[in-house]
Amino acid sequence: MTPNPGPRPDTEGGAPVGRRLILGMVGAGALGVAAAPALQRVLESFAAKDPTGVSDLLPNGGGFRYYSVAASVPHKSAADYRLTVDGLVDRPAGYTLPELRALPQTRLVRDVQCVTGWRVPATPFQGVRLSRLLDAAGVRPSARAVRLTCFDGTYSESLTLDQARRPDVLVALKMRDKDLAHAHGGPVRLYVAPMYFYKSAKWLSGITVTDHVEPGYWEHRGYDVDAWVGRSNGRGDAPTD
């Protein structure tokens, strides 16, 4: 088993947009930049532990934190969203949102875990198995890995082909039984249930089959490519189609 990498310094929200958003939520922008990190930690620990459910009323409530390494991210609708599948495949493809919605959907309920320590229990995600899109594309024998790219223009992720073919890895269209909101990577994000949440690339736009693992954004910065959360996560109830 790959060693659990454990909690990391909270650098993922380092993009100023994350802090601006949280400050904006409580109307505390006037406190200034110096106070922002400390205030963010207080708000985050409140949101993570909140027994009252009040944080569910916040725009990114319910324990989730908004992360984006890109300063701004375009909005894509059913009219202009495309997911391309290319690389070492026999049949490259481009899927529209209606086409993805028309494919068989898989719903999983697992705990979300970020390496910086926050966790959201029992969160439903739903979408198309990545393995289905890979099978439709016809993966060539020389293929070993998958590279995921995002329409934020910055983030990327990677999986080995074996990881990508797991039944608990989805091209997700819904979270908590609602269409994925833009803040959570909508209209389409990757959802890698058994791994730390950084593997779940938001604003997914490309799936490229490769002959070796190309480390993703955070992996270039020291995170593990194999990001298994632990034995118990992702080994629970069987997925339902």
Ligand X SMILES: Nc1nc2c(c(=O)[nH]1)N[C@H]1C(S)=C(S)[C@@H](COP(=O)(O)O)O[C@H]1N2
Stretch that binds ligand X, among 95-103, 133-141, 160-168, 192-200 (CB under 6 A): 192-200
Alpha-carbon gap, residue 187 to 174, rounded angstroms: 8
Distance of alpha carbon 148 from alpha carbon 185, whole angstroms: 13
- Residue 232 burial by CB count (10 A; 0-12/13-18/19+): exposed, middle or buried? exposed
Of 73, 89, 100, 114, which one interacts with Mo ion (CB under 5 A)? 114
- Tell me: does residue 152 bind ligand X (CB under 6 A): yes
The Cα-based distances of 165 to 48, 77, 162 in angstroms read: 32, 27, 5
- Specify the stretch interacting with ligand X by CB under 6 A; choose among 26-34, 43-51, 162-170, 194-202: 194-202
Q: Using the minimum distance from each CB to Mo ion, give the nearer residue, 62 or 138.
A: 62
Find the shortest distance in angstroms from Cβ 204 to ligand X. Answer: 8
Which one, 3 or 9, has the nearer CB to Mo ion? 9
CA distance 177 to 172: 11
Choices 102-110, 129-137, 166-174, 199-207 (CB under 6 A): range interacting with ligand X: 199-207
Q: Is residue 118 close enough to count as binding Mo ion by CB under 5 A?
A: no
Q: Which of 19, 55, 202, 213 binds ligand X (CB under 6 A)?
A: 202
Does 195 participate in binding Mo ion (rule CB under 5 A)? no
Phi/psi at 145 (nearest 5 deg)?
-155, 170
* Cα 206 from Cα 151, distance rounded (Å): 8
Instruction: Give the per-residue contact string, 103-142, with ligand X (x = CB under 6 A; - = no).
Output: -----------x----------------------------
Among 200, 68, 207, 62, which residue's Cα sits nearest to residue 120?
62
Long-range contacts of 27-33 (CB under 8 A, 24+ apart): none
According to DSSP, residue 57 is labeled G
- Nearer CB in complex with Mo ion: 119/132: 119
The SS3 call for residue 223 is coil
Residues that bind ligand X (CB under 6 A): 12, 64-69, 114, 150, 152, 155, 184-185, 197-198, 200-203
